[in-house]
């Protein structure tokens, strides 16, 4: 997910039993209006994502802690990742916190975008189709996913063999 999408997830968007999360919103700061929870730019941004077991476990722990601390003041519409007073968290503050957590010494290259690229590369290496990867990332065009997100520069040894065979050389 994009940071704004992750920050817009409320507990009613998460189905821990089915291990899914509905992405239907993003949190955006609008000048003069403050934070707004609004639909994604395109229809492809709205999607239901399967959650890996480690994410389901983390979310179950987070939910239990929120309930113990009575942080669920908004009920099922409460943000999964709230700010300090239980409201929607600002994406700019989250990016700043990520920069602070990673430091600069040797890790300045780590941005939220790196996590999205890593996800795309892992799915590519698992032989997901470009369309499936684009759907996971919320892209309308698989070409964008391939051009920007999927790690390349991997030589395929089978290419030399295919060229040899295709040209009819022994």
Tell which of 101, 125, 158 closes a domain.
101
Provide the domain count of the chain: 2
pLDDT at position 154:
62
CA–CA separation, 90 vs 110, rounded Å? 19
CA–CA separation, 79 vs 89, rounded Å? 8
162 in a domain, yes or no? yes
If you write DSSP's letter for every residue of 92-141 in order, what string do you get? Answer: HHHHHHHHHHH-STTTTT--HHHHHHHHHHHHHHTT--HHHHHHHHT-S-
Tell which of 47, 70, 101 closes a domain.
101
| 96 lies in the same domain as 14 | yes
106 in a domain, yes or no? no
| 137 lies in the same domain as 158 | yes
| 59 lies in the same domain as 93 | yes
Per-residue pLDDT reduced to its tens digit, 76-130:
688 999 998 888 999 999 999 988 988 877 888 888 888 888 888 889 888 899 8
Report the CATH number that the domain containing residue 9 is assigned in CATH.
1.10.443.10
| 157 lies in the same domain as 116 | yes
38 or 69: which leads in pLDDT: 38
- Confidence bin at 166 (pLDDT 50/70/90): confident
| 7 lies in the same domain as 49 | yes
Tell which of 101, 122, 137 closes a domain.
101
| 8 lies in the same domain as 91 | yes
Domain membership of residue 147 as a residue range: 111-170
| 86 lies in the same domain as 142 | no
- Confidence bin at 54 (pLDDT 50/70/90): very high
pLDDT at position 70:
66
Average pLDDT rounded to a whole number, residues 141-154:
76
38 in a domain, yes or no? yes
CA–CA separation, 102 vs 100, rounded Å? 6
Q: Is 72's pLDDT higher than 80? A: no
| 38 lies in the same domain as 80 | yes
Measured at the CA of 96, the angle between CA 93 and CA 97, to 5 degrees, comes to: 85
Tell me, rounded to whole angstroms, the distance of Cα 36 from its chain centroid.
Answer: 19
């Amino acid at each position: 997910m994009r940071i704004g999408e992750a920050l817009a997830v409320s507990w009613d968007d998460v189905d821990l039993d089915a291990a899914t999360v509905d992405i239907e919103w993003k949190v955006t700061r609008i000048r003069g209006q403050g934070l707004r929870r609004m639909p994604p730019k395109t229809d492809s941004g709205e999607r239901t994502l399967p959650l890996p077991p480690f994410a389901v476990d983390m979310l179950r722990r987070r939910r239990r802690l929120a309930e113990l601390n009575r942080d669920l003041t908004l009920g099922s519409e409460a943000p999964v990742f709230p700010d300090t007073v239980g409201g929607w968290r600002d994406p700019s503050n989250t990016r700043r916190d990520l920069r602070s957590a990673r430091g600069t010494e040797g890790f300045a290259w780590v941005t939220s975008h790196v996590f999205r690229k890593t996800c795309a590369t892992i799915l590519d290496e698992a032989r997901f189709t470009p369309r499936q990867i684009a759907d996971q990332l919320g892209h309308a065009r698989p070409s964008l996913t391939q051009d920007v997100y999927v790690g390349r520069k991997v030589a395929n040894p089978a290419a030399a063999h295919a060229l040899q065979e295709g040209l009819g050389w022994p």
